[in-house]
Amino acid sequence: MYAILKINGQQFKATPNAILRVPKMDAEIGNKVTFSDVLLWSDGDSTVVGAPLVEGKSVKGEVVKHSRADKIIVFKKKRRKGYRRKNGHRQWYTEVRLTAFGS
């Protein structure tokens, strides 16, 4: 059983009891969240593809933690001009444990 979810403009494959790392959400740790934007639903026997969403299906989860990803380096350079800029970035994310699949 799995589902393809749309969360904050990105698509994620969700399986039961999985932990998803999604873009930062405004929810406290321990809160329950419901994802109703289901693009595809498969229960092993049949697959339902939404147009654009699957009606009546949702996935529930629990917020586990908020954290920041590893640092990425943004380096800009223009050759022969002496222009070099180095910058780092750490993106915020939320970990969600999926608890219930269903309608």
In total, how many domains does the chain have?
1
- What's the token pair of residue 19? 């932990």
Single-letter amino acid, residue 56: G
**Interval 71-91 mean pLDDT:** 98
Cα distance between residue 84 and residue 32, in whole Å: 46
Antiparallel, parallel or unpaired: β 32-35 and 72-78: unpaired
| Residue range(s) defining the domain that contains residue 62 | 2-102
Task: Identify the pLDDT of residue 102.
Answer: 77
Of 75, 2, 78, 96, residue with least CA distance to 40: 2
pLDDT per residue over 19-74, tens digit each? 999 999 999 999 999 999 999 999 889 999 999 999 999 999 999 999 999 999 99
Enter the pTM of the model: 0.84
